[in-house]
Structure formats: structure tokens, C-alpha cells
Amino acid sequence: MSEPTAAPAPSTSPDAAREAILAGRTALGIELGSTRIKACLVDADHPEIVLAVGSHEWENEFVDRLWTYSLDDAWTGLQAAHAALVDDAERRHGVRPVSYGALGVSAMMHGYLAFDEAGELLVPFRTWRNTNTGPAAAELTELLGVNIPLRWSIAHLHQAVLDQEPHVPSIAFVTTLAGYVHWRLTGEKVLGVGDASGMFPIDSGTNDYDAGMLARYDALVAGTALGHPVAELLPHVLVAGESAGALTAEGAALLDPSGALRPGALLCPPEGDAGTGMVATCSVAPRTGNVSAGTSIFAMVVLEGPLDQVHHELDLVTTPAGDPVAMVHCNNGASELAAWAGLFGRFAAASAPGTPASETAGDTDAVFDVLFREALAGDADAGGLLAYNHLAGEPIAGLAEGRPLFVRTPDSSFTLANFMRAQLYGVFGTLALGMRVLAGEGVRLDRMFAHGGLFRTAGVAQRFLAGALDAPVSVAATASEGGPWGVAVLASYSAAVIGGLELGLDEYLRDRVFGDAGFETSEADPADAAGFAAYLERYDAGLAVERAAVEAL
């Protein structure tokens, strides 16, 4: 298999960019991530060319012991990100886009958004981060014979049934965040197969929900307050390249309250952030995989065949084209690392007398750069230090709730370099436990690709991940902004296929999108691999301390 190359840095001639924007030969990708809502505009004929970007920060809330986001905040954020993109297009190219040829929506996968017949939200959005669905997930895993993770939509739905929640009789439609936004923009209750595979198990032979499993679930809940067969509650499944409707006048007004945006853009199937990450790293073919690191961290590995056993550490999902994927999903990613960077940044600010704190809190990227590069000087095993990044519960680690911890023994080598290496290793700790299970199934990888803000400091987190996986890890120039660009590429692909292109998604990415600029690849350093293996053994044993902290605090 030839190695794909990365999308080049955004560049095109000023006249060509202006012409594409004025003519509406563009594709807009918008993604609702864990901490930022981002928008990316590309040339639809050359989706490797980024024309403009915009973003807006938002945060989840812990309300009534459940993680949630306000849907009002989702729309405010989408409008702000789109407005920032329009302003960026004007700054770069002297024109403000008023129409798009294609549009795609992506968001955090899984979770639970339930609506009644009138389209009213029945309970606040329950995100992927919640771990209250243990009884439902266990019962469904036993019933269906596949691992049903706690965050999947069917686990949330079934837990509501088990708990006899008052809203259950009124449920008429259940979807994900991407499916909800797409529905409001187009009126279509559909979902891309990759995101749908986080709602209910998919039959890769039909690229639809598994019919036998649907029947088993309906039999299980017969006689409960759930008033419809489950298939009637779920979005219709589509694969990459299909049309998923068009932007309505109402949808255009939702995205752009100024009234400048015209309706009519073709929409591709809405996808989850895992699927867009696969597209953004050209890892949709068997024996390829990618790691996405943000508030959560997960690995996606495209399979050559079925797994031999059911493992609670592994989810079976699909690529946006419907090919089977093993997913190792961890609820906790880089948030605890960012908190420590904030603490050190504040120390730097306090150490600069006479300068306002607002000016000395430091460029966040600069703080990370200093701390990450210090980690390179640490011992290969982090000097015996341990860092647990568990802000939320972590099913792979057997944790219903999280308690971030830093642990050392009296004879540990307590230096800043080792501390930072332990924190970076901690981001990958639970992921590595899951990947160890996948390796035990005999799954092999030609290469892993990585994306997310964690990889902005070149050569550090990437190197440590290569050691953690004992495999080469490649990072593209677009690594920190992959998701919205990935769904913009999917939108371009749908427009091309509907226009007559006869290429599969993998061929399209390799032949039409990924050009001459290569990925930067870190091979696994034997010392790093051995050091991380030692760290992971201590990390696994030390989870008993983490569990005790959950019980005691």
C-alpha cells in the first residue's frame, strides 16, 4: 500500500479563490467538537485547498450529575463560527460567501437527543461522556452478542426505559448531535453510517442497522413504555457520497441570522468526529488507523475481518463508507494536561512583576511548547511517576467516575521533565490498554495517523504515541484542524459523486485530495517503547489507587 500524503497548507491564487467563492463552488464543513465549534471552507473542486476558517469556544456542563450542552449554545456557537469564517474569507479574498455548493455537519459521536412528535427536546442532551448507562449496556451486550459501550445512543435509550423515565412514552425520534443539526438545516432525519454505528450496531453487508438485533431489542422492550419499534425512532442511514438533502431557507437563517446566506447547498450525510478524523488522515482503508486527541481520545483501526471475541474495550463501528472499524474510545484525553499547562502558565505570569496577568498568562501554544519540549529530557519510563487524567468516568479502566491524580513513590525521580512526560503518557494510558487488547486479536497496522491540538508541538506527543503503540505515527500539516476539514472533504465527495464521479472514498482521498506534501512520520524509538511499556505496567496496577479515590472522595 502506498503511503498517502497530507493535504497541503491552504493556498491558491487570489483570483481562483475569489472566483470559487463568488460562484459558490465551495464546500463548507462545520464540526461541533468538545470545546470548539469549527468551520472550514474549501474549494469543492480542489478540497485540499482551504479558503477560510472560523471557530467558537464552548463548554459542557455537569447538571444533575449528567454531562450536557445547551442546544441554544450550539446554535449560538454555530452562528459565531460561521460568521468568523465569512469574515476570514473577506480578509483573505475580499469577498463574503453567500452560498455554498456543498455543506457537511459533523459532531461528537454517540450520546442521546430524544424528541417528541412535535420535534420538542424531551430531556437535556446527554453526551458521550456520561457513564450512568452501565446496567443498560451490560444487558444489551449480553442480548446482542456485541459490545455496547456506555456512551452509545441505544444504551442511553435503554437506560431511560429501565429507569422508567417519564419522557419515554413520548419519544418519537432519537439522534446524535450531528444528526440534530443536520435535521434542523435540511428537514431530513438521516445520519452517516459512521455516526449511526454509534447509535445501534450496523450490518456492514447492508450498511444499515442490523435487522436481527433490532428484532431482539424490540422483543426485549415489548410491554414497556417505549411506544415504537426502535427502527422507527432512529435516523435513516446513508453512506459517504450520497445526497442527504439540501439547505432550506429555515436552515440558512439558523446558520446565518443576517439573512445573507442563500439556501440550496447540497448536504452530505452528517458524520461523527471519528469519521471525519479518518477522512482527514486518509485512514479509511484496511490496516490503517488514526488517533484523535482532544477532550476525549480514541483510536480507529480499519479491520480486514471480524474479531474473534467480544471485548468491552473495543467498539465495532464503521468508516463513513461502511467498512468495519475497531474503535478504542477513552472519555478522558488532554483536559487534565491542559489544566497543568494553565497552572504553569499562571506561574509564569506571576513571575513577571509589573505586567498585568492578562498579558503574562502567556500564549497557550508557547506554554505547551516549553513544557512538551521539557518532556523530551525525561526518563523513558517517566522516572517512576504516574499521572491519571480521569476527569470523567472511564469504562476501559473500570471507573464510573473520575478523579485526576498524580502519584509518585519516595524513590521516583521527581523532575519537571519526568512530570511532563508522565502527564503526556497519562493521556495515552487508557488508550494503550485498549490497543493492547486489539493487538491480542492479531490486528496489524501499516501505519497510524494522528490529529488534534495535542500534536501542534511538532515531534513530541507524536513521538510518545509512537512509543506507546510501538508503531509509526504520522501527523499532517492539517493535524490540529482535521475534523471540520474532513467533513468539508466529505461534502465535496458527495457533490462529485452526484455529479458523476465513480470513485470509492479511499480512491477519492488518495487520488483527488491528498497531494504532494508528505506526512511527518515518527518511528517508534525502542527506548521509548520499552519505557512506556514499563510505565503502562505501573499505570495498570495503580488503577486501584484511582478506584479508591473515586470511592473516598
What does each C-alpha distance from 152 to 236, 430, 438, 452, 455 come to in angstroms?
17, 19, 20, 23, 28
Q: How far is CA 395 from the centre of its chain?
A: 17
1-107+240-281+491-519 and 110-175+200-233, same CATH topology: yes
- In this predicted structure, what is the pLDDT of residue 446? 81
The string of DSSP codes covering 367-430 is: HHHHHHHHHTTS-TTGGG-EEE--SS-BGGGTBSS---EEE--TTS---HHHHHHHHHHHHHHH
Q: Please check whether residue 510 is in contact with residue 493, taking contact to mean a CB–CB distance below 8 angstroms.
A: no
Per-residue pLDDT for 7 more than 70? no
- Asked if 466 contacts 491 with a C-beta cutoff of 8 angstroms, the reply is no
Q: In the prediction, which pLDDT does 6 show?
A: 37
Strands 386-388 and 324-330: unpaired
The CA distance from 77 to 100, in Å, is: 20
User: Hey, is 263 helix, strand or coil?
Assistant: coil
Per-residue model confidence (pLDDT) at position 458: 81
Containing H/E element for 203? strand 202-203
Contact 77, 123 (CB under 8 A): no
**Region 472-491 average pLDDT:** 82
Q: What pLDDT, on the 0 to 100 scale, is given for residue 481? A: 55
* pLDDT tens per residue across span 421-451: 999 999 999 999 999 999 999 988 888 898 8
In angstroms, the CA 252 to CA 250 distance is 5
Q: Give CA–CA dist 293/302, Å, rounded.
A: 18
pLDDT tens digits for range 193-202 = 999 999 999 9
Give yes or no for a contact between 119 and 295, defined as CB atoms under 8 angstroms apart: no
Average pLDDT over residues 107-120: 96
CATH architecture of 1-107+240-281+491-519: 2-Layer Sandwich (3.30)
Q: Among residues of the chain, what percentage have pLDDT more than 90?
A: 77
Residue 353, number of CB atoms within 10 A of its CB: 6
Would the pLDDT of 455 be above 90? no
pLDDT tens-digit series, residues 337-377: 999 999 999 898 888 776 555 544 447 888 999 999 999 99
CA-CA-CA-CA dihedral for 140, 143, 144, 149, to nearest 10: 20
| Dist CA 318 CA 439 (whole Å) | 19
Model pLDDT, residue 355:
57
CB 389 within 8 A of CB 406: no
The per-type count for the chain, helices as H runs and strands as E runs, is 18, 23
- The band of 476, judged by pLDDT with boundaries at 50, 70 and 90, is confident
State the pLDDT confidence band at 115, using cuts at 50, 70 and 90. Answer: very high
The set of cell numbers assigned to 366 is: 508557547
Q: Is the pLDDT of residue 4 over 50?
A: no
Torsions phi, psi for 349 (to 5 deg): -65, -45
Spell out the domain ranges in the chain. 1-107+240-281+491-519, 110-175+200-233, 335-429+523-552
Q: Which of 270, 240, 197 is nearest to 484 (CA)?
A: 270
Tell me the mean pLDDT in the region 382-399.
94
CATH code for the domain defined by 110-175+200-233: 3.30.420.40
Phi, psi at 468, each rounded to 5°: -65, -35
Q: Please state, rounded to an integer, the average pLDDT across all residues of the chain.
A: 92
The predicted pLDDT at position 153 comes to 98
> Can you tell me the distance from the alpha carbon of 123 to that of 169, in angstroms, rounded to the nearest whole number?
13
Q: Shortest CA distance to 200 belongs to which of 181, 179, 175? A: 175
**How far is the C-alpha of 189 from the C-alpha of 234, rounded, in Å?**
8
For the segment 138-166, the average pLDDT, to the nearest whole number, is 97
Q: So what's the pLDDT on residue 478?
A: 53
Report the alpha-carbon distance of residue 314 to residue 299 in Å, rounded.
Answer: 10
Q: How far is CA 16 from CA 25, 26, 92, 539, in A?
A: 11, 12, 12, 53
